[in-house]
Amino acid sequence: MFSEKYRPQKLNEVINQRHVIERMKAFVKKRDIPNLLFAGPAGTGKTSTALCMAKELYGGAWRQNVLELNASDERGIDVVRGKVKDFARAVAIAEVPFKTVILDESDALTTEAQHALRRTMEDYSRVTRFILIANYSSRIIEPIQSRCAAFRFKMLSEDDIKKFIEKIIDGEKLKITDDGINAMIYISEGDLRKVSNLLQTVVSTDEKITEDVVYDVASKARPTDVREMMELALKGKFQEARKILHDLILKQGLSGSDIVAELHRQMYSLDGLTEEKKVQLIEKCGECDFRLSQGGGDLIQLESLLAHFMLLSKK
């Protein structure tokens, strides 16, 4: 898998998180780290940073001194009282005087499990350090947050994602067009894990990576199709807009939620609409997305949304 093959092995290889990496290097140099909380969007290097630091801290013995768990799979109180506590109470087998527990997706832990974890962090603070990784730090209880040094990971820029794509392309000798790269950057939304997985899938189906191939494999709505549909609806050409919608759902097999998400992304760049009307359309997109999540029919809900686009433009 590209996601594993091209994962950073050293702190210097982590992309565009200098504000975090420099502090981690200082911790490694001192052979001491506090409890840490890494928070930020998915695919920005949180887990990679934690593993790279562990490898540089413990060297070849890192596997014996690091426990890595994914809390989204094992999020109950029994895991904290069992696996985590048993590992935390043991003495480190290395020059570093403590072991490390890396708890990925820790914002998925139940409240009871988090309170048990807080107690474990207190009891074994002398021999164990904890690195909690979360997309939403607000879901971590305050007593745990106060015991950790928090680091925020930034969303990756388009240039950072492009460099990562080019690294894989050069390493695997792949063929890709410029519009293919732009499509991958657009779809990834700053998530490098999504980029590597999408590349892995694309190369298994086609020798040359183009924009059309990327959107077909990703099963995402093309921005040009969605924008044309919106503009037709706003011009009062409802039947033409409806035809594009039917093509997206029935021929391309896209989900209603994906189309609504793309409508929302395109909304802010629409010309000829006042801010007040854009606000009303965004509200309707949110309402449509909620109805779809509750089991509403894709065609009916999205046709209703397009009808609202047309009616609003007439006012």
Which domain range does residue 206 map to? 158-218
What are the angstrom distances between the C-alpha of 69 and each of 37, 173, 181? 15, 34, 33
Q: Are 274 and 264 in contact (CB under 8 A)?
A: no
Residues 176 and 299 in one domain: no
Indicate which CATH number applies to the domain containing 142: 3.40.50.300
- Domain boundary among the residues 119, 152, 185 is at 152
Same domain as 237, residue 177: no
- 122 plus 6 within the same structural domain: yes
> pLDDT class for 2, splitting at 50, 70, 90?
low
Q: Which of 152, 173, 203 is a domain's end point?
A: 152
Which pLDDT score, from 0 to 100, does residue 151 have?
Answer: 92
Domain boundary among 128, 152, 176: 152
- Residue 291 banded pLDDT, cuts 50, 70, 90: very high
Calculate the dihedral angle through the C-alpha atoms of 295, 298, 300, 305, rounding to the nearest 10 degrees: 110
Q: 170-196, pLDDT tens digit by residue?
A: 888 888 888 888 888 888 888 888 888
SS3 222: coil
> Is the full-model pTM beyond 0.75?
yes
Judge if 54 and 141 occupy the same domain.
Answer: yes
Q: State the Cα–Cα distance between residues 96 and 85, nearest whole angstrom.
A: 19
When computed from its CA atoms, the radius of gyration of the chain, rounded to whole angstroms, is: 24
CATH number reported for the structural domain that contains residue 253 in this entry: 1.20.272.10
